[in-house]
Structure 1
Amino acid sequence: MVAGSPSTPTGPSLKIGRYAVDPAVVLAPMAGITDVAFRQLCREFGSPTSLYVCEMITARALVERDSKTMEMITFGPTEHPRSLQLYSVDPHNMAEAVRMVVAEDLADHVDMNFGCPVPKVTRKGGGAALPFKRRLFGEIVAAAVRAAEPAGIPVTVKFRVGIDDEHITYLDAGRIAEAEGAQAVALHARTAAQRYSGQADWSRIARLKEAVTGIPVLGNGDIFCADDALRMVAETGCDGVVVGRGCLGRPWLFGELHAAFTGTPMPEGPTLGAVGRILRRHAELLTAHIGEQKGLRELRKHMAWYLRGFPVGSQIRRSLAMVSTLAELDDLIGQLDHTAPYPPEAAEGPRGRQGSPGRVVLPEGWLDDPDDAAVPAGAELMHSGG
C-alpha cells in the first residue's frame, strides 16, 4: 500500500459483548511484551476502541494473588475496555479467577488461552493440547462464562488449528466455545507442532468462519503489515484480526491498520529519528510503570526489533541493548542518524520467534480419550504466561 494514499474502507465491524471494537483489530497477548506500557504505546498509534490484551495470566496465580501476577494485571487509567487473558486447565480455578475479576472489577473482558505451544505448557495438557479433550475444554469455557455473566463481562476463546496434522481440533473447539456462551473465537492458523514456523494456513480461518456462525471469528497468524490484514479479511471473511509478532518494535503498525480499515491516508513509515522518539516514549511508560532501572532493563529486549533494517552501527546497537538509564538512552538516541528513512523491505516481514516445527510434548496417554474430562495434574503450578 502506498504511504499517504487513501484506501477504500474494507474493515469489518466487530462487537464483543457490549463492546464495539473499531476498527476490528486486536493486539494479541504476548508474554513479557504486552504489559501496560506497550499496550499504551500501541493505543497511541491505533484506535482507542480497538482491543489491546494484557499478558497471559494463570488463573491459579491470580486467585492466589501471586505478587508478579498482580503487577502484570495493571491497566492504564484510560484503558477501556480492560482486556485480560486467562490460562487454566481446571474449570474450578477458571471460575474462581473470573469471579475474582468480577468481584474486584479487575477487567472488562476475559479471553482464554488454548493456543500456547510451549513444551512446558503442553506437556501438562495445557495450552494448545487442551482442546483435544473436548469435554474438559467445554467445561472450562462454560465455567468462565457463568462466572462472568452477572457483570456482563464477555468471554472469548483463542486456540490453534490443533496439536498436529493428525490431531485437528479447531472446528470442534469453535463449535463448543459458541455453544457454551463465548462471545467470540480467535484462531491462530498454525498447529502446535508448527509453533511459529512456516506459514499460517488462513484457509482454516475461512473454514472456522463457515462452522461458527453465531459469534465473531477472528484470524491470527502472519499479519506483518496492513495489507496482510486486509488480505486476511478478504480471503477468509473473518470478523477481525489479531496481531502478535508483527508489531514487535513496530507499535505504529496499529496506526497503519487503522488507516487501512477506515480508508484514511496511510501514514509514512517513521524515520530513524522518529523511531528514537518512540523508543524514548516506550522508556517513559515503562519507567512510570515499574521504575527507571527495571523499565530500562525491560526495554532492552525491544531494541533489535525497533532498529531492524536501519543503518545503526554495531557499537551503538550493543550499547542500546545494555542501556540502564534514561540519560544514557537519550545520549545514544542522539547519536543516531535521525534523517535515515524507513527501510520497508528490510524492516517488515516476519519478526520475533519463529524456530522450527517439532513434536508436541503431551502427558502420557493424553490422546487415548478425547472425552476424558479429568483435570491434568500439575498444569497450573507455573505462575506466568507461556
Structure 2
Amino acid sequence: MSTSLATAPALRIGPLALDAPVVLAPMAGITNTAFRRLCREYGAGLYVSEMITTRALVERNATTMRLITHHDSEKPRSIQLYGVDPATTEAAVRLLVEEDRADHIDLNFGCPVPKVTRKGGGSALPWKLGLFREIVTRAAAAAGSIPLTIKMRKGIDSDHLTYLDAGRIAEDAGVAAIALHARTAAEFYSGHADWEAISALKQAITSVPVLGNGDIWSADDAVRMMAETGCDGVVVGRGCLGRPWLFGELAAAFGAESRPVDATLGFVAAAFRRHAELLVEFFEDEDRGCRDIRKHVAWYFKGYPVGGETRARFATASSLAEIDELIETLDLDAPYPGAAAEGQRGRAGTPKRPALPDRWLESRELDAAETCAIAEAEIDSSGG
C-alpha cells in the first residue's frame, strides 16, 4: 500500500487534459470495457482498449466492432490499433475519426508475441524505418484533431535497438505522445525494465510528452519512475491485474481525486464481484462473464487468506449468485497482507529469441519481397 504523496501537473495529450499522469496499458483479454470501467471507478487516467487489428476493423469484423464500442461513462474513449500496412492503418484511423468512435488513438509498436513479430508487426516493425515513418505519418494525418500516440519497446534485442530513431520519427510525424516499455522484444516481460532508456528518450524528445512503462507495481514505483527519468506520465500494465484500485492509489499519489482504498479482503472481494458484474453486462451473458472472471481469481486474492479449495471454486463459478455465496465464506475483515500481495503479477517468462520474418534484420528498409508481403501480413483478429 502506498502512502507517498507527490505533485505533478495534469498530463496533456494533445487536447486531452488528464487529472493524473496515468495510462492503462492495453492488455489482450483484459482491458475490455468492463475492466476499463472498473479502473475508472477508482481513479483518474486514460484507459485504453485492447489491441484492435486494423484489418479486422476496416473489414468490420463483428468481434472487433464490439471491442471498440465504449460504455457511455467512458470519457475520453481510447483505442489502440495494431497494423503493418500503411494504407490499412490509415483507413482504420479514418474510420474511427469519421464515425466518432474515439477521442484518442494509440498505435502498437510494442507487442512482443511471436504471432505478431513474425509478421513484422509490433516491436519488430520500427526496425524498418521507412515503413514505420509511413505508417505513423499517414495515421497522424488521418487522425486530424484526434490525438494519435504510439507505444513501443526499446527494440528487438540489445543489438537492434530502435526506440530513439522511432521516437524522433514519431515526433516529426506529429504524434501527441510517445510511450516506451523499457524492455526489448527479446526480453519479453522478464528481468527488470531499463528506466534509463526512458530517461534517454525523454532527453531526445522535446515537443511531446514521453510516458514510461515497465515495473510499475505500486504508486510509489510510479512516483519514483517520474522522478528518476523525468518522464511526463506512466503507463501501467501488469501491475493492475487483480488490483483495479491501483488507479485510486496512483491518483492520490499525484494529487487527483480518488476513491479511498483500504484493501481488506472485503474490499478486494467487492472489487472482484463488481468486475464479474461488469463482465456479465459487457458480454450480455452471465455464464460467459463468470467464465471470463476466472482468470482474474489468482490476481485478486494474491496474498490473502483464501484457501486453495475456495480459489478453485471461484475459478469454476458460473453465476453471480455462486460468486456471492463464496464471498460470504471469506473472512472479509482480514487486513491487507502487505508484501505477500505486492510485487510482480501476470506473465514474466524468460528472454527468448524474437520470431521475425526471414532476413528482417539484414536491412533497416524493406526490400521488394518484404514490401509485397506486408499487405498480406495483417492478422485479422483483435485483442491479441
Which of 20, 38, 42 is the equivalent residue of 1:23? 20
1:257-268 to 2 correspondence within 5 Å?
257-262=250-255, 267-268=260-261
1:143 maps to which of 131, 138, 141: 138
CA gap 1:2/1:104 in 2 versus in 1, 3 angstroms: closer
Q: Which moved more, 1:192-201 or 1:259-268?
A: 259-268
Q: What is the alpha-carbon distance in structure 1 between the residues aligned to residue 114 and residue 96 of structure 2? A: 28
Structure 1 Cα separation of the partners of residues 71 and 352 of structure 2: 38
Counterpart check, 1:72 vs 2:88 = no
Query: Scaled by the length of structure 2, what TM-score is found?
Result: 0.96
114, 117, 120: which one pairs with 2:115?
120
Distance 2:270 2:113 in 1: 34
State the distance in 2 between where 1:76 and 1:384 align: 19
1:238 deviates by 0.2
Q: 1:21: how far off?
A: 1.6
Say whether the 8 Å CA contact 2:225–2:231 is kept in structure 1: yes
Q: Deviations over 1:173-211 (max 9, x none)?
A: 100000011110000000000000000000000000011
Q: Which position in structure 2 is the counterpart of 1:207?
A: 200
Distance 1:61 1:344 in 2: 43
Provide the residue aligned with 1:157 in structure 2: 150
Report how far residue 308 of structure 1 moved: 0.4
Equivalent of 1:104 in 96, 99, 103: 99
Deviations 1:260-308 (A, max 9, x none): 1118899444111111111111111111111211111111111110010
Aligned to 2:42: 45
RMSD of aligned Cα (Å): 1.5
- Greater Cα shift, 288-297 or 80-89: 288-297
Say yes or no: does 1:169 pair with 2:169.
no
1:134 correspondence with 2:129: yes
- Identical-pair percentage: 61
Aligned CA distance change for structure 1 residues 106 and 263 (closer, same or farther; 3 Å): closer
| Alpha-carbon distance in 1 for matches of 2:79, 2:292 | 21
Task: Say yes or no: does 1:327 pair with 2:317.
Answer: no
Whether the 8 Å CA contact 1:11–1:230 is kept in 2: the answer is no
Quick check: 1:11–1:260 contact (8 Å CA) kept in 2? no
Q: Which runs of 5+ in 1 are unaligned?
A: none
What is the alpha-carbon distance in structure 2 between the residues aligned to residue 8 and residue 278 of structure 1? Answer: 24
Amino acid in structure 1 at the alignment position of 2:139: A
The answer on 1:229 being equivalent to 2:240 is: no
Amino acid aligned to 2:218: C
**1:12 CA drift (Å):** 3.9
Alpha-carbon separation, structure 1, partners of 2:307 and 2:258: 33
Distance (Å, rounded) in 1 between the aligned partners of 2:326 and 2:96: 42
Distance of 1:102 and 1:358 partners within structure 2: 38
Task: Report the equivalent of 1:349.
Answer: 343
Match of 1:378 in 2: 376
Once superposed, which parts of structure 1, at least 4 consecutive aligned residues long, lie more than 2 Å away? Answer: 7-13, 263-269, 371-379
Structure 1 residues 142 and 240: CA distance shift in structure 2, 3 A: same
The alpha-carbon deviation at position 344 of structure 1 amounts to 2.0
Offset, 1:62: 0.4
How big is each residue's C-alpha offset from its partner over 1:353-381, in whole Å with a ceiling of 9 and x where there is no partner? 00010001110011121122726253213
Q: Does 1:192 align with 2:190?
A: no
Please tell me the residue identity of whatever aligns with 1:140: I
Q: Which consecutive residues of structure 2, in runs of 5 or more, have no partner in the other structure?
A: none
Hey, what does 2:83 align to over in structure 1? 88
2:201 and 2:210 in contact (8 A); partners too: yes
Preserved contact between residue 59 and residue 94 of structure 1 (Cα < 8 Å): yes
User: Which amino acid is the alignment partner of residue 127 of structure 1?
Assistant: G
Equivalent residues, number = 379
8 A Cα contact 1:10 1:263, kept in partner: no
Deviation at 1:385, TM superposition (A): 3.1
Secondary structure in 1 matching 2:50: strand
Matched, 1:241 2:239: no
1:297-354 alpha-carbon deviations (Å, 9 max, x no partner): 1111111100100011111110001111011011011111111111120111010000
259-268 or 340-349: bigger deviation: 259-268
